[in-house]
Amino acid sequence: MTWKSYAAASGATVLAGWLASTPPVDVVENRHVAQSRTSRAAAVSPSSDIVEQATRLQARIRRETAYVRPQRNPFQFEAPRPAAETRATIVEPLPIDLSVPEIHTAPSVTLAGVAEDSLQSGVERTAILSSPTGVLVVRIGDEVLGQYRVAAIEETAVELLSLTDGSTLRLSLAR
């Protein structure tokens, strides 16, 4: 097919669709429809419809009840109490103890690893500790968090000596 045949086929299709969609015009029938519409409009006057609607609305307004205060307040979590039950009560505050108790808890320090250096004099070990302040690399004699001193470093454990009471805390590698 060429472009001319495409154009002819398209034009024929459009023409057929237009003719099929247009309703047939019957002059006598249209006059009958127009006359029935005018007779209905004359039978119902707009003023009678407005009066009818106004009386219906006035009757509806008269039937409404008076305002009643709601039983609950949506902004309160408790149910309202009657006025007789509402009494002011005096509550005396409890004494507050402001002294700080001494709590001996183990520090939140864990042994992350042990490093060894081979020297001529022997093996020197360094402990790698994990604390809330970060990673600490310590040797024997170093202070840890201002509370402990490193007493001994073994292959899988570290002994920390408390500076306050002299107790020993042993940290070992988790396996």
End-to-end CA distance of the chain: 84
The three-state (H, E, C) secondary structure of the chain, written as one string: CCHHHHHHHHHHHHHHHHHHHCCCCCHHHHHHHHHHHHHHHHHCCHHHHHHHHHHHHHHHHHCCCCCCCCCCCCCCCCCCCCCCCCCCCCCCCCCCCCCCCCCCCCCCCEEEEEEEEEECCEEEEEEEEEECCEEEEECCCCEECCCEEEEEECCCEEEEEECCCCCEEEEECCC
Task: Supply the pLDDT for residue 13.
Answer: 92
Under a CB-based contact definition with an 8 Å cutoff, are residues 123 and 109 in contact? no
Per-residue tens of pLDDT for the chain, all 175 residues: 788 888 899 999 988 888 888 666 554 455 555 555 555 555 555 677 888 888 887 776 666 677 888 887 788 777 656 655 556 667 777 777 777 666 555 567 888 888 888 888 888 889 998 888 888 899 999 888 888 899 999 888 999 888 888 888 888 887 6
Task: Supply the pLDDT for residue 12.
Answer: 92
Cα–Cα distances in Å, from 93 out to 82, 90, 96, 103? 27, 10, 9, 27
Q: Phi and psi dihedrals of 137, rounded to 5? A: -110, 115
